[in-house]
Amino acid sequence: MTGTKVTVETIRAMKARGEKIAALTAYDFPMTRLLDEAGVPLILVGDSLGMVVLGYPDTTHVTMAEMEHHVRAAARAKPRALLAADMPYQSYTTVADAVANAQRLAAAGAEAVKAEGGRDIVEQVRAIVSSGIPFLGHLGMLPQHVLEEGGYHVKGKNEPEHQALLADAQALAAAGAFAVVLELVTPLVAKELTQAVPIPTIGIGAGPHCDGQVLVTPDLLGMLPWYDLKHVKPKLNAAEQMRKVVKEWKLGVEGQMPKH
C-alpha cells in the first residue's frame, strides 16, 4: 500500500487529534495485504490465531515458533500499517525472557509487541521499550489467563477491579507503552481510563468511548459460525458464502462428462 508509513507516533497522534483508531488481526500474507489496502492503520498478528487458525481451545497453547511463523507471513505483505504481534503465553515471565522473545518477534518482522498485564509486568515493559521495541499493552479480560480465571469475564464491575485497572493503565503508560487494548472492560471504566491516560485505548467489547476498536478479523467477517460471539456482530457471512461457492464448484466438477 502506498502512502506514509504508520508508526507508533502516528497512533499516539491519532488520540491527540481525536481520530478513532481501527485495528484488526491478521495471520498471513493475503489478509495482511487486504487489511492494509483497506486502510487499517494497526494490524495485530494476534495469538488468537491459536483458536481461529490452529484449532486450539484457547491462546495458552500458542508457541513462540508459531507466532514467529505467522509474523513472518504477515510481514511479507510489507504493510503501510503498523504491524504488531502478540507475545505468547509464558514468553515474558521474566525480564530476560521478555526482551529475548520480543527481539525474536521483531526479527520476524513485528514493529511492536503486545503482552497482557499491568503493574505485574511493568519491568518487562520498560526493558522491552528500552531495547528499542515499541510496546502495546493489554488490560481487562486477559485471554492467556482464561484457565486460572475459569472463563472470560467482564472486568471493572466492582471498585477493586476499577481501581486496579486505573493503576495498571497508568503504570503501562509510565513504562512507555504507546497504547493499550482494553478487553471486556465495562464501558464506564473504559471511558474513565481513556480520559485518564495519555496513550490511546483500543477497546474490544469495552464500549464506544475508547480511542479505537480492535476485532479478530474472522469474527468480523463471519468466518467462524461455530462460535457464539457476544461482543461483535459479523458484518459478512463469509462462511456461508464460502460453503455455497465450494458446493457449486463441486457440483460442476461432478457434472463434467469425460470426453471420448
Q: Cell numbers of 251, please? A: 457440483
- Residue type, position 200, single letter: P
Distance CA 221, CA 184 (A): 20
Contacts of 202 (CB under 8 A, 6+ apart): 21, 23, 42, 179, 180, 181, 182, 210, 211, 212, 213, 214
Active-site option among 183, 240, 248, 254: 183
Cα–Cα distance measured from residue 260 to residue 257, given in angstroms and rounded to the nearest whole number: 9
DSSP label of 153: -
Which of 14, 30, 15, 35 minimizes the C-alpha distance to 220? 35
Phi and psi dihedrals of 81, rounded to 5?
A: -60, 160
Strand partners, 114: 86, 136
Find the helix or strand (DSSP H, E) in which 204 lies.
strand 201-204
Helices 29-37 and 64-75, packing angle to 10 deg: 50
> Cα–Cα distance between 118 and 140 in angstroms, integer?
10
Annotated catalytic residue 161: no
Angle subtended at Cα 233 by Cα 245 and Cα 214, rounded to the nearest 5 degrees: 105
Phi, psi of 86 (to 5 degrees): -75, 140
Tell me the catalytic residues: 183
